[in-house]
Amino acid sequence: MAVQFQKNDKLLLGTVLLVLLAGMAWFSFLGRETGASVKVTVNGQLYGTYSLKQDQEIKIIIGEKVTNVLRIQDQKADMLTADCPDKLCMHQKAIYRQNETIVCLPNKVVAEIIGGEEAELDSIT
């Protein structure tokens, strides 16, 4: 037996969906604070921490060759070059909010935004 949606059912479903989308947008775009610096790790070891306020290019050297270049510009970090075969890290968007990351799996390079102002609420129950 097929269940028919009534007008009120559709209205309730639409309202719930709209509230969920608004909440998701709030926490995704407005809920996180802008970070102060980017922490770069290579193979799980700290490579360096760099301020987002100073425009620079960080050459990440593994062994004796430059494998990745991370660019900090306009208080955002972006992977400029990589010698990995898929170059997925270069196609990720520039990061600037706390806990955002750029990951280069083949080279085991992770760039993560840290610091900045702490949010008043760290979780909602």
**122 in a domain, yes or no?**
no
Same domain, 3 and 54: no
Same domain, 87 and 64: yes
Report how far residue 54's alpha carbon sits from residue 19's, in angstroms, rounded to the nearest whole number. Answer: 39
pLDDT digits (tens, 9 = 90+) for 100-124: 999 999 999 999 999 865 445 555 5
- Provide the number of structural domains found in the chain: 2
Same domain, 24 and 5: yes
Strand order in the sheet with 56-62: 56-62, 65-73, 76-82
Report how far residue 62's alpha carbon sits from residue 81's, in angstroms, rounded to the nearest whole number. Answer: 14
> Residue 17 is part of which domain span?
1-31
Question: What pTM does this model have?
Answer: 0.69
pLDDT band at 29 (very low <50, low <70, confident <90, very high): low
Report how far residue 85's alpha carbon sits from residue 46's, in angstroms, rounded to the nearest whole number. Answer: 24
pLDDT digits (tens, 9 = 90+) for 48-84: 999 999 999 999 999 999 999 999 999 999 999 999 9
Same domain, 56 and 86: yes
CB of 104 closer than 8 Å to CB of 68: yes
